[in-house]
Structure 1
Amino acid sequence: MAGKRTVLTAGLRRLAALLTEMRESVGLSKEEVSGRTGINVTTLYRIEQAQARPQRRTLMTLLDLYAIDTDKRRYVMDLLSDAQKPGMSRPYEDNLSEVYSAYINFESAALSARHYETSYIPGLLQTPQYASAVIDTSMPKLEAAVTESKVSARMSRGSVLTKAEPLELWVVLDEAAIRRVVGGHEVMQGQLKQLIEHSKMNNIILQILPFAAGAHPGMLGSFTLLDFPQPDDPELVYVEGITGDTLIEGHLEIRRFGVIFDQLRAMALSPRDSIAHIEQVAQDRERRG
């Protein structure tokens, strides 16, 4: 059932990586662990791939086999408790893809996000009206209740920008996103106004990549780089696409996206000039009505 699926969270990913490291440190294969404990090999695979949360007794059995000391055992059990907590996406998971649900949970635990967007205002900075207009373009068309749920999920995500230790967000936004009219004149003007207000927050850097910059390495598509406060949590890249969303790990891939983002921000207008550019676009549109 969709409502009971295991959705990836930062805590679950950290637990899976640690269990893999423990098994490898004692030189055991999954098959050998299965033979000694009776735990199914498929179950072990799913646990180590963060596709399933281990039951408490399963975890205790593994810790006994790996001869884990008291302090580390306590840390692992704390990770299990953390992994069992419902993620930020939980209220909306029936209407969200598994990857997007995982991304929302990672975003809520992240220290910072570097986001490049080609076509529309990033979800964290959208107004409800703009978000509804964007989601309404889905093919096939969604039922009104599903659209409403997706909009609610997107608005709830915005809390990461105003919590006690807010997400540090750096956005490079293609000029097309502020010029394309989404939802009509009033919706777009309201969105540009909110974008300007968001850009004045201390934890948000917004840069516009103007048409005048010409060809650039971000033309292939949008992406987000997430960094985490815990050293055990490696960076992630989230990529959206027509064929589906993807979460990417791995040093070389992460580094490639990091280099691309650095090139994009170097080609973009400064934050101050970006605000002025958005204000000019809004003024021009207001004069045209």
Structure 2
Amino acid sequence: MRERDEMGGITPPPPRRQPPTVRLRRLAAELRRLRQEAGLAQNEVTDKTDLNLATLYRIETAKTKPQLRTLNALLDLYGVTGSQRTDLVSLQKEARQRGWLNGFEANLSDQYTALISLEAEAEQAINYESLFIPGLLQTEDYARAVIQAVPPTATDAQVENRVTARLQRQALLEGETPLRLWAILDQAALYRTVGSDAIMRNQLAHLARQAQRPHITIQVIPFSAGAHSGMLGSFILLKFARGNSDVIYIDSMAGDLFLEKETDIARYNDMCEHLRAIALSPADTAALLASSREDH
């Protein structure tokens, strides 16, 4: 039997699940705030509309994009008019925009397309890596060597598609308002030979050049720092414009994770401060990059 939609009609089979964009997350947060300001509980909203409780939950947590008629019903209930209403309707229409990603997502995992979607709209990324050079700072040869090895069963076509996507992501570091990147690496990432010594020399030279750009900061945690909290694993902390909460992305063998709870965000922000404090300064990092290049 075919399912009924949010307002009681018949819906077509569900499309391939798409990751939430920043616009969709912002729309969800605004609808949640408006309901609370109206003094309504979720069950009161469902009593006053044809919307079911499960769907309202999914809308308010950015799990699904509300249909326009559903959005209008909610805005009517919350008494939203004028420019505020126009802005929210515009958010609904733009909620699935992902730019260049549209040509790649059929060949990439949902989690990776979610990262790309969110990363493209972030203002700042703080990336800690214990074993790899951060993806946004990888050369093409280094990226290909990593992607060929992880996982080792990837086909040539899958490898090249992933390499192309990674290089496309790096366009975020260009333009008039580039992504601000703060990369923190364990020293091990500089000394592990990925591909070949020639590839590593080129990669480390690329890192040194990137570190000179005003919107990119690179710090290395030296072996002498001993054990530290970053040894638990790599992560990316994405920070957005005011009104949008931060997101933590964790890539692991058990699957990619996105953390958005306030307690998780606070914990990872504290970790970032700790890692910055024990890492070498950007100037000392530049010297270490030069010496490690010679070692390769």
Q: TM over 0.5, yes or no?
A: yes
**What pairs with 1:250-289 in structure 2 (closer than 5 Å)?**
250-285=261-296
Q: Distance in 2 between matches of 1:144 and 1:2?
A: 31
Aligned with 1:243 (options 246, 254, 277): 254
Cα drift, residue 57 of structure 1 = 1.8
Cα drift, residue 166 of structure 1 = 0.8
Aligned with 2:68 (options 43, 56, 65): 56
Deviating more after overlay: 117-126 vs 275-284: 275-284
Relative to the length of structure 1, the TM-score reads 0.91
Q: Which residue of 1 aligns with 2:207?
A: 195
Q: Distance in 2 between matches of 1:15 and 1:141?
A: 40
Aligned with 1:85 (options 94, 97, 102): 97
Q: Distance in 2 between matches of 1:181 and 1:200?
A: 24
Deviating more after overlay: 23-32 vs 171-180: 23-32
SS of aligned partner of 1:100: helix
SS of aligned partner of 2:149: coil
SS of aligned partner of 1:170: strand
Q: Distance in 2 between matches of 1:35 and 1:143?
A: 52
Letter in 2 for 1:156: Q
Q: Which residue of 2 aligns with 1:129?
A: 141
Q: Which runs of 5+ in 2 are unaligned?
A: 1-12
Per-residue CA deviation, residues 34-90 of structure 1 (Å, 9 max, x unaligned), is 343323433322222212112222211221122212222112112113313234533
Equivalent pairs, count: 284
Cα drift, residue 139 of structure 1 = 3.4
Contact 1:111–1:227 at 8 Å: present in 2 too? yes
Aligned with 1:65 (options 56, 73, 77): 77
Contact 1:2–1:94 at 8 Å: present in 2 too? no
Q: Which residue of 2 aligns with 1:234?
A: 245
Deviating more after overlay: 5-14 vs 118-127: 5-14
Change in Cα spacing, 1:112 to 1:86, as seen in structure 2 (3 Å) is: closer
Cα drift, residue 95 of structure 1 = 2.7
Q: Which residue of 1 aligns with 2:191?
A: 179
Q: Distance in 2 between matches of 1:280 and 1:27?
A: 62
C-alpha RMSD over aligned residues: 2.0
Q: Which runs of 5+ in 1 are unaligned?
A: none
* Percent identical: 41
